[in-house]
Amino acid sequence: MTSTATIKAPVSDERVAIKSTLAKLLGRPEIGALVGAVALFIFFSAVAPVFLQPGSIATVLYGASTIGIMAVGVSLLMIGGEFDLSTGVAVISSALTASLFSWYFSMNIWVGVLLALAVSLGIGFINGWILVKTKLPSFIVTLATFLMLTGLNLGLTRAIGGSVSTPSISTMDGFESAHAIFASSVNIAGVDVKITVFIWIAMVAVASWLLLRTKVGNWIFASGGDANAARAVGVPVVRTKIGLFMGVGFCAWVAGMHNLFAFSTVQSGEGIGNEFLYIIAAVIGGCLLTGGYGSAIGGAIGAFIFGMANKGIVYADWNPDWFKFFLGLMLLLATIVNLVVKRRAEQK
Amino acid sequence: MSQKLSWRKLAATSVLVPALALSACSSTGGRAPEAGSEGGGGEVASTERMKVALITHAPAGDTFWDIVRKGAEEAAAKDNIELQYLNDEDGGRQAQLLEQAVDQGVDGIAITLAKPDAMASALKEATDAGIPIVSLNAGEDQSAELGAFTHFGSNEKLAGETVGERLKEEGYENPICVIQAQGHVGLENRCAGVKSQVPGTEILYVQGTDMTQVQSTVTAKLQSAADADVIIGLGAPITMTILQSAATANNDIKVASFDLNAELAQKIVDGEVIFTVDQQPWLQGYGAVDALWQNKRGGFEIGGGQPVLTGPTVIDSTNAEEVLAFAEEGLR
């Protein structure tokens, strides 16, 4: 395929050749998602003018941020070649831990919050550790933790709190400050924007920096691309994968704390099914299921697409029966566009 | 290397957490010190011990069903009954649970008929085996046909109409009815009941398993529906979230609700929610189990072939305070 090129210019290697800006742009993992997001934004602005109000945009961003915070961790994990089915209930596990521990022992909320962080990181560590020790596929390992966490959420909540939802913690010490950090609103030019939007943006920025500017980022791409080759050149694959699962745990903690402090009670059966939304966001954003390819910003765009579609249907007064169908269609289209664009860019 | 590091971290946390804990007790809220009160004390019926299976379509972790179960447990404790509580959302699996109960030879079955067709053949086995059956909560219309001698529940349509009438009386014209599980017959009936009284009713679907999505979707609706004057949540936790959405959307829309919990009762006392209709789930569980005991005790069949209605009862500012005390106990 490249034989003619090598004959003409034997001194240059096509792998290190300088690409045109356009080719570079088209080669980015999130380009398909970006095109889709812009199209969807224009579309909903046209059919539902209320969509463009600052207040509405803040609502769409909030809806996107609660998915997007998790999509950050899930995207990195998928680039690292694994995925996690336990994320939806892990968010609730984290919220339940903080709430029930503080309530049962009548302690300052922050003790529970820190314990929840330890538990969430621990769940991630266990997922990763079992994975690298047993070499089982992440589908099986995290499906098992998904089921176990679902059971623990229900069982422990009833055993400790005596009911299926946690008691309200809104009057306890530390609630105010925790609420301010995890669930408050920031007023920007007269519009209340939820703090999760800023947390989300910050997390995407940190994850992008980690991926593109640090040694760890290279390890993540290498572990996901070809774990054996990566190990051969000295990449600590085991530590990278466990670290990625713990990163997902950290995101679950942030999302869980928001759930807890926004609503002050948590129902133990919540969260089931959300793991797929996080994966959908990452995949729409250009992460490959096979690993080694993708970006943090892509996952964020994927979450934003979800937020726009989910809320746009309400603004446009459409029958929501069709929402899931459109979500599926968008997933399919986005992945096909990603595939086509990527092939084109590689050929040039 | 990495594991050593983690162990060290673990050790550090295990020292740090109790250390923090000692100096971090909350001055308000939290678990109340043990009151030592075991509900439903007193004499136990002298009838022979019997075994009753309560089989529901409850999803795991639902507060409503917790109250049904509490009612059933209290009746079982009084009536010298060994109660087996089983639940599965899926119609097919609920039928399997029913078959298992028949196989075990229980002395009575209390069952919810959310998916009556799925239960039909298993219920036939039960009636053939001569096991008395009571239905509860859902399936009022199919109850007798499928062999139950009575039904305990509140008619969802009637509850919806009660809400609709009340809203009409108070002059509301454009309610939004929020359904948290798309395609759920009971919830659709509630909104249909409201709509039959107030034709301007609009339905909004949200994903009830994720409160953040409920909040943002309801906010979106409130931002776009300028003429809406009241919004109705179909469950207490959903209504609590709707209150937050109304605050976020800066919309002074009125809020009404179905069902009850302690927090909702408090909001009615505070005037933030105008009213709720309660189907008194505790009575459904208690009534169903107790009816099976009555049947054993003297062959009684309560209800005269008609369903026994446990609701709807309206809770508003006039009686919320009284109800609140029971709601805090987990009975309402």
Question: What pLDDT digit, counting tens, does each position of A310-327 carry?
Answer: 888 888 888 777 777 877
Asked whether residue A77 is domain-assigned, the answer is yes
pLDDT value of position A345: 63
| Helices marked H in chain A | 3-8, 21-26, 31-47, 54-79, 87-104, 109-134, 138-161, 175-182, 195-213, 215-225, 227-232, 237-263, 274-284, 296-315, 323-347
Nearest to B13 among A118, A170, A175 (CB): A118
DSSP, collapsed to helix, strand or coil, labels residue B31 as: coil
- pLDDT class of B20 with cuts at 50, 70, 90: low
| ipTM of the prediction | 0.73
Asked whether residue B268 is domain-assigned, the answer is yes
Is residue B271 pLDDT above 70, yes or no?
yes
Per-chain mean pLDDT for chain B: 86
Please state whether beta strands A191-194 and A185-188 pair in parallel, antiparallel, or not at all (unpaired).
antiparallel
Average pLDDT of span B72-76 = 95
pLDDT value of position B16: 55
Helix (H) or strand (E) holding A190: none
Do the beta carbons of residue A197 and residue A62 sit within 8 Å? yes
CA distance B232 to chain A (A): 17
State yes or no: cis peptide before B312, omega within 30 of 0: yes
- Its domain, for residue B181, covers 156-278
Do the beta carbons of residue A128 and residue A121 sit within 8 Å? no
pLDDT value of position A9: 47
CA nearest neighbour of B137 among B13, B259, B28: B259
A110 contacts on B by Cβ (under 8 Å): 20, 24
Better-scored residue on pLDDT, A95 or B5? A95
Residues B293 and B148 in one domain: yes
Residues B166 and B272 in one domain: yes
Residues within 8 A of A (CB atoms), B 127-186 only: 182
Q: Which residues contact B190 (CB under 8 A, 6 or more apart)?
A: B156, B157, B159, B160, B163, B177, B234, B258
CA distance B246 to B231: 9
- pLDDT class of B19 with cuts at 50, 70, 90: low
Give percent above pLDDT 70 in chain B. 89
Asked whether residue B22 is domain-assigned, the answer is no
pTM exceeding the 0.90 threshold for the entire prediction: no
Average pLDDT of span B287-308 = 92
String of DSSP letters for A300-342 = HHHHHHHHHHHHHHHHTT--GGGHHHHHHHHHHHHHHHHHHHH
Asked whether residue A4 is domain-assigned, the answer is no
CA distance A140 to A122: 18
Q: Does B125 touch chain A (CB under 8 A)?
A: no
Average pLDDT of span B253-272 = 93
Asked whether residue B106 is domain-assigned, the answer is yes
Is residue B25 pLDDT above 50, yes or no?
yes
Residues B149 and B92 in one domain: yes
pLDDT value of position A303: 94
DSSP E strands, B160-281: 175-179, 202-205, 230-233, 254-258, 275-278
A167 contacts on B by Cβ (under 8 Å): 31
- Chains A–B, number of C-beta pairs less than 8 Å apart: 172
Q: Enumerate residue ranges in chain A where pLDDT < 50.
A: 1-7, 9
Asked whether residue B38 is domain-assigned, the answer is no
Residues B290 and B239 in one domain: no
Residues B213 and B178 in one domain: yes
- Its domain, for residue A88, covers 31-183+193-343
pLDDT value of position A241: 95
CA distance A36 to A309: 11
Q: Residue B178 — φ and ψ, nearest 5°?
A: -95, 115
Q: What is the pLDDT of residues A161-209, one digit of tens each?
A: 877 888 888 888 999 999 999 999 888 888 889 999 999 999 999 999 9
DSSP, collapsed to helix, strand or coil, labels residue B71 as: helix
pLDDT value of position B9: 58
pLDDT value of position B7: 56
Q: Does B212 touch chain A (CB under 8 A)?
A: yes
Asked whether residue B98 is domain-assigned, the answer is yes
pLDDT value of position B44: 85
Test A103 with B216 for CB contact under 8 angstroms.
no
B31 contacts on A by Cβ (under 8 Å): 103-106, 167
CA distance B180 to chain A (A): 12
Asked whether residue A11 is domain-assigned, the answer is no
Residues B215 and B270 in one domain: yes
How many distinct structural domains can be found in chain B? 2
Residues B149 and B291 in one domain: yes
pLDDT value of position B15: 52
Residues B165 and B261 in one domain: yes
Most confident of A154-158, B273-277, B325-329: B273-277
Asked whether residue A276 is domain-assigned, the answer is yes
Q: Does B216 touch chain A (CB under 8 A)?
A: yes
CA nearest neighbour of A105 among B31, B23, B15: B31
Residues B145 and B294 in one domain: yes
Asked whether residue B309 is domain-assigned, the answer is no
pLDDT value of position A287: 87
How many distinct structural domains can be found in chain A? 1
- pLDDT class of B38 with cuts at 50, 70, 90: very low
- pLDDT class of B2 with cuts at 50, 70, 90: very low
The CATH code of the domain that includes B262 is: 3.40.50.2300
pLDDT value of position B37: 44
Asked whether residue A271 is domain-assigned, the answer is yes
Test A106 with B204 for CB contact under 8 angstroms.
no
Residues B134 and B84 in one domain: yes
CA distance B19 to B13: 9
pLDDT value of position B331: 87
Residues B289 and B267 in one domain: no
- pLDDT class of B185 with cuts at 50, 70, 90: confident
Do the beta carbons of residue A73 and residue A211 sit within 8 Å? no
Asked whether residue A128 is domain-assigned, the answer is yes
Q: Which residue of B has its CA nearest to A51?
A: B224
CA distance B177 to B179: 6
Test A168 with B263 for CB contact under 8 angstroms.
yes
pLDDT value of position B136: 93
Asked whether residue A16 is domain-assigned, the answer is no
CA distance B61 to B82: 23
pLDDT value of position B251: 78
Total length of chain A: 348
Asked whether residue B170 is domain-assigned, the answer is yes
Asked whether residue A5 is domain-assigned, the answer is no
CA distance A68 to A300: 5
A268 contacts on B by Cβ (under 8 Å): 60-61
pLDDT value of position A25: 73
pLDDT value of position B304: 86
Q: Which residue of A has its CA nearest to B243?
A: A263
The CATH code of the domain that includes A68 is: 1.10.3470
Asked whether residue B81 is domain-assigned, the answer is yes
